[in-house]
Structure 1
Amino acid sequence: MGFFKKLFGGNEAGNAKINSALTGKIVSIENVPDQVFSQKMMGDGVAIEPTEGKVVAPINATVETIFPTKHAIGLKGEDGLELLIHVGLDTVNLKGEGFTAHVQSGDKVKAGDVLVEFDLDYIRANAPSTVTPIIVTNHDQFTLSAVPAEGTSVVAGETELFKATHK
């Protein structure tokens, strides 16, 4: 219990608490308008329709990957949990325009640290959607629970997004 509580602030043995990486409203992963995410091809998770252009670390982690286009970030928690935060849909086509990265691959981050800022209006105008999936890519090793209902408002770095428990 102490290990997870120390790393993630969780209060149950074996549960890692994952905070929201963005401020906005919850979208069920099954309702993301992209089959790769809605059919959980990359993993299980949840999505957020952002109301502000800032992504923060949802856990204490190492930045495994930040795409050159800055639209997606791969994180690895100290317990092995792997998260992908993918800002918007088809945003790779923006070639980094509208994104500012505050981290690079290999950086250690604490929950709440700013990872990327983005111009929400620019993405709304130039991409099919701003919906941002937050995916556990190694979901075969974790069970997700306590996922908020669709439409629930969340605050970056403050609202619990879900719990992840080792299988």
Structure 2
Amino acid sequence: MFKKLFGKKTREENITAPLTGRIFSLENVPDPVFSQKMMGEGFAIEPTNGEVVAPIDGEIVQLFHTKHAIGLKTENGAEIIIHVGLETVAMEGDGFTAHVKEGSKVKKGDKLLTVDLEKVREKAKSTVTPVVVTNSADSEKISLVATDSVIKGETVCMTVTMK
């Protein structure tokens, strides 16, 4: 009985803000792929600076060659994508610097990317950055917990409980 009560590993993961800025729901992102949650559940941040940090402890599973998006996976199996800006793929990496590579192990708060937000404002649709759990269907529960302003690497934005 003791093992039954205390032996179960929690599947809950706290996702912190990968950027400092203002958080809001995906429904308000001016892009239907995100606002209609075609990629999964999550949130978005309007960043106030261009340093992107790891929102979780995990592994880099995908770094787009254009460096505008990065995919991470937690030990509990949650798969998260940080998509910096909207229509930034067309920038072909201009204004983006990666500080990690695919296969890198990261800790919450580790620097992932540096983004020139002024360049994004000039060349892309928006700096709005969706953060999405791409395997939301494999989750038991996803809860948004932050509102208003968030601080990168510190503010818990969402909890994800995997099945």
Q: What's the TM-score, normalizing by structure 2?
A: 0.92
2:26–2:42: 8 Å Cα contact kept in structure 1? yes
2:80 corresponds, among 78, 83, 87, to 83
- Mapped pair 1:24 → 2:25: no
1:102-141 correspondence to structure 2 within 5 Å: 102-141=99-138
CA pair 123-140 structure 1, distance change in 2 beyond 3 A: same
Matched, 1:64 2:68: no
Q: 1:126 to 1:148 in 2, by over 3 A?
A: same
**What is the aligned-residue identity percentage?**
55
- The 4+ residue runs of structure 1 with deviation greater than 6 A are 1-4
Q: TM-score, with normalisation over the residues of structure 1?
A: 0.90
Partner of 1:155 in structure 2?
151
Match in the other structure for 1:165: 161
Listed one character per residue, the Cα deviations across residues 82-112 of structure 1 (whole Å, up to 9, x for unaligned) are 0000000000000000000000101111110
Local SS of the residue matching 1:30? helix
- Tell me, in whole angstroms, the C-alpha distance in 2 between the residues paired with 1:3 and 1:115: 32
CA distance in structure 2 between the aligned counterparts of 1:42 and 1:76, rounded to whole angstroms: 15
Task: Say whether the 8 Å CA contact 1:147–1:162 is kept in structure 2.
Answer: yes
Q: Could you tell me how far 1:15 is from its partner in structure 2?
A: 2.2
Q: Is the 8 A contact 1:89 1:129 kept in 2?
A: yes
Task: Tell me the alpha carbon deviations over residues 123-147 of structure 1, each in whole angstroms, 9 at most, x when there is no partner.
Answer: 0111111000000000011221143
Pick from 50, 53, 56: which aligns with 1:53?
50
SS at match of 1:140: helix
Please, which runs of 5 or more residues in structure 1 have no aligned partner? 5-12
Q: State the 1:2 CA deviation.
A: 8.9
* d(CA) in 1 for partners of 2:24, 2:144: 14
CA distance in 2 between counterparts of 1:89 and 1:124 reads 10
Please give the per-residue CA displacement for 1:56-82, whole angstroms capped at 9, x wherever unaligned.
Answer: 000011100000000000001111110
Question: Residue 120 of structure 2 aligns to a residue in which SS?
Answer: helix
* Matched pairs, number: 157
